[in-house]
Structure 1
Amino acid sequence: MTSNTLAETAVDRFQDRIPASLYEVAWQYSLYDWYNAATSADLDWDLAPEHLAYLTPRAKSGLFGEPDSLITVYADLSDPQNPQLGTAETTDEAVEITTLTEAGRYQVGHSYPEGKTSSMTDYSITTHKGADAHHIAGLRDDAWGTNNIQDRFTDWAQSEYAEEVRKSAEPDEAAILEGLATLGDDDTAMDELADSFLRLVDSEDDEIEALITVRVKPPGATEYKYPGEVPVLNDVMRAKKADRLTSISVENAEGEATGYVSDTVEAVTGGSPGLFGMFGKKQREHFADLDTEGQSAWRNRPLSFDVAAAVAVAGSVFDDFYQPLGSSRRLYVLPYLATRGSETDPETFERFYREVFTELQSADTGEDGTLNETVTELFDSVRSAYSTDSDSSSELSLGTSSSLNYSTVRIAVVYQVTGNPDRVFFDTLDGVFRPLELEDAHNTVLCGMPFDSNGIFEGNPSPESSWLLGEPSNLTRLILYGVYFRRTTEPTRSSRQANETPGAGAADDSRFSPVKTLLTDGKLSAATLLENYLHQLVQDQREQFDDDGEYIAFPKRSVVEQYIQLRALTDAGFLDSSQTLSFETTPMIDEYDSRDDRLAQFLESHAALDGDPQRAVFILGGLVGRITAYQDYEDISSTLVRRYPVDYLTKQTVQEVTKEVLQMNNSYAEAEDSRSYQTLNRYTDRLPDLMLSATLNDWSLTEAELQWLYSLGIAYGLSDTSLDTDDEQSSEQPLAADDN
């Protein structure tokens, strides 16, 4: 068949609704996998989609190219009345030992059971075994002696599944199964087969890991065929695998019902293994009142057998689409067509397969891999398709000319922690649009005040010092990977020094708890975020105290990154501030008469600085920052940020700190001819009334709110050195330790 005809076949198997669960995504991926096989140069015969769905051509890909990795028995069934062992192509024996190649992965027709035990036999006549030659020859006579060259004839070909298929098969096809079974009953033939194999090895103790298969010469044929090329052998494989979906770990898990994915009334099963370790038949806790006995197990999640088979092998397909994140964590990025079958044409299917599916599938993971770059390009294409500001066409592709409409593309995201058992921390069918919205909000903040011309943070910290400060930034992938929040948060104030890091997917996994909330349509708690921000700042500052470098020991860059993040989350509507300060802002002007005017505008434009307590703490921080900058300029090592670090400030200490800071400012004004009492009056004129006359018991600020506003004030004060005024050393450009 031509590729267009094959694409039509695949589209005909699309569901006539937009995918609404990971099961539909798995079904769609099984069609891309079939199309990949059907259009491959390695598949030069018609392999039915219902057969390919049950095969696992890459289940033992580690054997590709390995010496002695394929054991092939030859069965001459050309004369149905006289089946006999054949002669191998490379030896004079009935069996040969060669190399399993990637090109031959479809020919061998292998179907491997998920979670296979050592004694379990594979669904297909091709089976995998790692054992000594004595075992593989079929000479072991206990219950564990399965998966050998003899039981392909004595067991597999004589199974109830082979008998079931034989009864309904065409005569020539039935003769193949009958011939294999007849050879299995011939003790002389089986003994000769074992001897033939042992003549090819040095010793019965030789350890061999290989696929064991049988090539047959069908009735009336002159050439041998591998199992994957023989439909009746695939039919037996399919029947055997379908049975296991109803009988393993559940009883009678088959019934007549509407398929969960197919949406048609047909035979269904509730015994599929599930996806990513979720909803497997052995994990009953995921289903309320799951009945694994009697006649109703199939009611819990009825899947047609074809869909159940696709789900069973989806893991091996999905494994090409994840980014390893360390600590047994995986983030799966699964793009799919969010279209109905009736709305999908073969050209769209083929373009998506070529430009999205195969590009991502073939990308390499790891530090030097191309996966991250490919994922970013995919996100860019989706972003452009939905951009209201872009003049570019939505018909984009990953670096090639295309007419694929990316507005039909969605991206499922699954965060899995592997282990025993595997578990999913979160999953979503639309894992990109909220990160894209957050990215847009983040970049909008960076393009406006106070990062624009004459803004307090214009180029300070340097945009080159952090990807969170450079604009415009492609942040979607970093948001999905958890790096966006990992950069700014820590779960505890001592987590970097703790003996054990927070467990992957645990409640204190500050890297992915926000991502989970974001992707599952929730809002992040601003109160929790502030606490984690403070944990980060405290650890940053402690590390800088231990570093005798030339920079000011304060994490200004971290504070500014957190400030941007809070504003972006607020503007995107993803922050819940009901239990803490509001972080909404009003537009700030970009022209100021003085530093005092700039400070006034900053205070007025931030809802978090509306109240007197908030302003008092922020201005105290600003004054600490300005005096610290002066001390650094004068090479005074005992700076105020060292004396009053972030976690020193509490309701109990704040007024004491204020008095000491004001006194120090006065002392410098008296001692230095270049300074006066008016030098920092934008801070000192406001601070006494706000702070020293305050009744702290009336303050509702939490410790996290107080300390973070203090930190923001310090960052502001350290940056308050522009507007061409010279009320203090204007040439001084103090750098915090993380600015460069």
Structure 2
Amino acid sequence: MLSPEEYKTEYEDTLESELPTRPISTLRDIQYLYGRLYTLATAGGGEFSAYLTPDESRDILNEPESLVALQIDLAADGTASLAEEPVFVTSLTEQLVPAVAHCDYDSSAGIDHSITHRTGQDKSPDKIAGYLVDRLTRWAVDDVVEEIAADHEDGWLIDSLASLGKDESLSERIQTATESQLDGTTTALTTIRVRPPGSDKYFYPGELATETAGSDQTDVFQVAMRARKLSKLVDKNAASNSTGSAVDFITGEESQTVGMAEDPLNYFLGKQHESFPGLDPEEAWRSHPISEDGAVTIINAQTFIDSCSYRALNMRVYYLPYFFGRPTTEKALALYDILYNVYQNDDLTPVEAAYRSYRGDSTFGITSDLELRFYVGAIRYQQAKRFDVFGDTLDGALMYPVDLSDSHQTVIESPLFTARGSSDRTPPLPTHPDWDLLTPTSQLRSIATGWYLTQTFPDLEPNEDTSPDDYRIEALVGILSGEPLLVEELLDAYTQAITDSAGDDHPSLTVASQFAQLTALANADLLKTNDPRYEPLTQETTYNSLATMTNTESIRADGGSTALKRTEKLESFINDTPAINEDAQRRSAFLLGVLIGQVSGYQESKENRATTLVDQYPIKGLTIKKFKRTLHEAVDKDIVYSRDNRMSGTMYAEVVDELRKAISASKTDPDEWKMDTTDLRFYYSLGVTYGLNDYEPDDESNETNVDKEE
């Protein structure tokens, strides 16, 4: 495959004439463009280039004994005979790739479409001899090939090969010659070399269609190859002959079309009746007509399309870059640069490759006026030849995931997770160097591959199917295409994930990751709601007052109390979080969690208790009806420990005081709250995470105690 630099050198002056003339508007347009770029990069231009598969032999290029040809002499009377030296063995070189004109057929039981055929891995000389015999006894007598021979002016060439194949001594002679030429097992292309009447040179099948053969040139082998490949596009997927003259879906020109062509995304298939209601496979060329050459070009897109896909959420996610509008030379070169880099680097996603190009780190930089877009699709394999398309859009854009990545990194670097100034208080939420969403690094790859959501959403079992209404699919496609996510459904997924989490410990790092993600999504304008109660969750947050608090030198200048530091930190966090600050019920749930987290930290550190309040009141056990009882028992336990420490006041009084204010501000008894359970549990879990992270072992020793001598 040509490098981007070689591609530009080869095609810059002629590329525009090779490209579609209409703007990119469908997935089929993208596939066709990919296939055209790939064909030019591998097989070059020409009438039959789209049908050739040179990449199928790249792995044996320049290997010893990687090309084995049966040499045949042609006579003026139309007969053929084996040459004096029947078998010719050499290395397959770059120069010989177009000469052998190989067209692969992906079938373990069949032969390749071209007369050139690739062997299996490490075949013995007798097996190689069998492949050579097949060139005459199988390929030359194939029904489709015989039809071409009957109609083509040079069909006698194929007929002569078929006649030669009837020679009963042929197989033995070829085997003897092959064994004498090969040293051992090999993987090779097997083909023919023919010497036309009166010529002293032997020509490979592809050379006969070029000026190399002079007056003996003929395209009969390529025409037969093309017919064999096309025959597989009209009789598959429950159709026997889905072909007819119609307007090509891609070019808009009338041509011979096929209706059941292969599809690199396994989307436009005969069993996909939900995509084409009432589909009749035999008449598919009427409802979805693709020209014969167009169908083959689309198949050639497979390599680039596979490179731009990855596994996520038990599905295959396709992220296909393209440029809005009609393809031009500038756009095509920039697109090829992205596709080539993704193909060459298995660890590089299309988003990352495009971002490198955007930053000028590649051969052809992307400028904003080129209007880069992405097709985003999530497709799940269901059963044999059945694939479900759960979500797709043509509106993906580079800056949606880039902006979200930047937003997430800013959140992690903010005082929400990073201590600032001279305060020795921990930040509100914990971080961990081995927890991806809690480290201040780029999340671009994580977002593009779906790992960004996988870390915060409920786990999928290895064999669990993803249902069409699974919110994670909508969320993934939404993030990649800039469509805001419904925050209610996001909270539901978060809550399910933390209530399902294995183990006895509170999932602090998961909760912290979810809150970081929620904040980043809001700041990137990727959250929406249909319920006014959730509107504060969609607002941008900066945690400015928290930054001011943690940078205030006066906090410790006079040896200020631990309780004062805790109070200012808690007030700052609440003030900077609209979802908590603007909703008394949500604030109450959060503060209850804070109190239970702080008391639990005390129990574990000072009391050496194996079972703490967090264990007694887990996330999944909290409901509106249990809120008051949980609150009373938490406050009671706080008072007990305050007395045990002979404190003049109540331990964590700042939290208890805020709790009383919040419940009073709700203006209703907690038993009558209309708060959703998912909302309650998420902010309760956030509070527990805050409280556990806020606790420090010497907190209580810094509180004001009653004189122990009294």
Same fold (TM over 0.5): yes
User: Residues 197-246 of structure 1, C-alpha deviation per residue, up to 9 Å, x if partnerless?
Assistant: 2324679xx99986442222345543222223333022332234334434
**Alignment CA distance shift 1:648-1:672 (3 Å):** same
What aligned pairs does 1:431-446 form with structure 2 within 5 A after superposition? Answer: 432-446=398-412
**Alignment CA distance shift 1:560-1:331 (3 Å):** same
In structure 2, distance between residues paired with 1:18 and 1:601: 52
> 2:585 aligns to what?
613
Q: Which amino acid aligns with 1:179?
A: L
In structure 1, distance between residues paired with 2:81 and 2:333: 44
**Alignment CA distance shift 1:444-1:525 (3 Å):** same
In structure 2, distance between residues paired with 1:357 and 1:587: 37
TM-score (norm 2): 0.79
Q: Secondary structure at the match of 2:256?
A: strand
In structure 2, distance between residues paired with 1:465 and 1:69: 48
In structure 2, distance between residues paired with 1:4 and 1:727: 70
Which consecutive unaligned segments of at least 5 residues does structure 2 have?
1-5, 210-218, 550-554, 556-563, 704-710
Q: Is the 8 A contact 1:450 1:458 kept in 2?
A: yes
TM-score (norm 1): 0.76
Q: Secondary structure at the match of 1:72?
A: strand
In structure 1, distance between residues paired with 2:157 and 2:542: 84
> 1:734 aligns to what?
none
**Alignment CA distance shift 1:187-1:275 (3 Å):** closer
Q: Is the 8 A contact 2:133 2:174 kept in 1?
A: no
**Alignment CA distance shift 1:263-1:658 (3 Å):** same
User: Residues 305-331 of structure 1, C-alpha deviation per residue, up to 9 Å, x if partnerless?
Assistant: 22111122332453344445696x544
TM-fit CA distance, 1:535: 3.2
> 1:299 aligns to what?
286
User: Residues 598-651 of structure 1, C-alpha deviation per residue, up to 9 Å, x if partnerless?
Assistant: 433433443432333222211111111222233344252233222222223222
Pairing 1:181–2:159 present = yes
In structure 1, distance between residues paired with 2:127 and 2:105: 20
TM-fit CA distance, 1:27: 1.9
> 2:570 aligns to what?
599
Report the count of equivalent residues: 652
TM-fit CA distance, 1:710: 0.8
TM-fit CA distance, 1:285: 4.6
In structure 2, distance between residues paired with 1:713 and 1:8: 64
Q: Is the 8 A contact 1:608 1:614 kept in 2?
A: yes
> 1:152 aligns to what?
139
Q: Is the 8 A contact 1:537 1:558 kept in 2?
A: yes
Q: Is the 8 A contact 1:18 1:338 kept in 2?
A: yes
**Alignment CA distance shift 1:528-1:234 (3 Å):** same
Q: Is the 8 A contact 1:55 1:111 kept in 2?
A: yes
Q: Which amino acid aligns with 1:264?
A: E
Equivalent of 2:449 in 481, 500, 507: 481
TM-fit CA distance, 1:668: 1.6
Q: Secondary structure at the match of 1:319?
A: helix
In structure 2, distance between residues paired with 1:187 and 1:238: 22
TM-fit CA distance, 1:101: 6.8
> 1:239 aligns to what?
227
**Alignment CA distance shift 1:25-1:2 (3 Å):** closer
> 2:552 aligns to what?
none
**Alignment CA distance shift 1:458-1:126 (3 Å):** same
Q: Is the 8 A contact 1:507 1:513 kept in 2?
A: no
Pairing 1:397–2:368 present = no
TM-fit CA distance, 1:478: 0.6
In structure 2, distance between residues paired with 1:508 and 1:280: 22
What aligned pairs does 1:46-85 form with structure 2 within 5 A after superposition? Answer: 48-59=45-56, 71-77=68-74, 79-81=75-77, 83-85=79-81
> 1:391 aligns to what?
none
User: Residues 74-115 of structure 1, C-alpha deviation per residue, up to 9 Å, x if partnerless?
Assistant: 2233x544543343xxxx54235677678754432222345x
> 1:358 aligns to what?
340
Pairing 1:503–2:464 present = yes
Report the structure, 1 or 2, having the larger helix content: 2
Equivalent of 2:100 in 99, 105, 108: 108
TM-fit CA distance, 1:422: 5.5
In structure 1, distance between residues paired with 2:136 and 2:188: 11
> 2:37 aligns to what?
32
In structure 2, distance between residues paired with 1:196 and 1:146: 10
In structure 1, distance between residues paired with 2:366 and 2:585: 55
Equivalent of 1:534 in 484, 488, 495: 495
TM-fit CA distance, 1:194: 1.9
> 2:176 aligns to what?
199
User: Residues 514-537 of structure 1, C-alpha deviation per residue, up to 9 Å, x if partnerless?
Assistant: 313434665434333323322332
Q: Is the 8 A contact 2:258 2:291 kept in 1?
A: yes
Q: Is the 8 A contact 1:489 1:533 kept in 2?
A: yes
Q: Which amino acid aligns with 1:215?
A: R
Q: Secondary structure at the match of 2:538?
A: coil
Q: Is the 8 A contact 2:116 2:191 kept in 1?
A: yes
> 1:681 aligns to what?
653
Equivalent of 1:20 in 18, 25, 28: 25
Q: Secondary structure at the match of 2:48?
A: helix
Pairing 1:229–2:190 present = no
TM-fit CA distance, 1:289: 2.4
> 2:355 aligns to what?
380
**Alignment CA distance shift 1:416-1:113 (3 Å):** farther
Q: Secondary structure at the match of 1:150?
A: helix
Pairing 1:467–2:436 present = yes
> 1:335 aligns to what?
321
Q: What RMSD over aligned residues (CA atoms) do the two structures have, in Å?
A: 4.1
Pairing 1:636–2:611 present = no
TM-fit CA distance, 1:417: 4.1
TM-fit CA distance, 1:279: 0.6
**Alignment CA distance shift 1:66-1:428 (3 Å):** farther
Q: Is the 8 A contact 2:528 2:538 kept in 1?
A: no
Q: Is the 8 A contact 1:274 1:281 kept in 2?
A: no
Q: Secondary structure at the match of 2:548?
A: coil
**Alignment CA distance shift 1:284-1:73 (3 Å):** farther
In structure 1, distance between residues paired with 2:365 and 2:586: 54
Which consecutive unaligned segments of at least 5 residues does structure 1 have?
39-46, 140-144, 168-173, 366-370, 386-393, 546-552, 732-740
User: Residues 671-712 of structure 1, C-alpha deviation per residue, up to 9 Å, x if partnerless?
Assistant: 214x44244222112324655995234211222221111111
Q: Which amino acid aligns with 2:14?
A: T
> 1:388 aligns to what?
none
Q: Is the 8 A contact 2:246 2:289 kept in 1?
A: yes
> 2:213 aligns to what?
none
Q: Is the 8 A contact 2:323 2:373 kept in 1?
A: yes
In structure 1, distance between residues paired with 2:72 and 2:311: 45
Equivalent of 1:95 in 63, 67, 87: 87
In structure 2, distance between residues paired with 1:3 and 1:574: 38
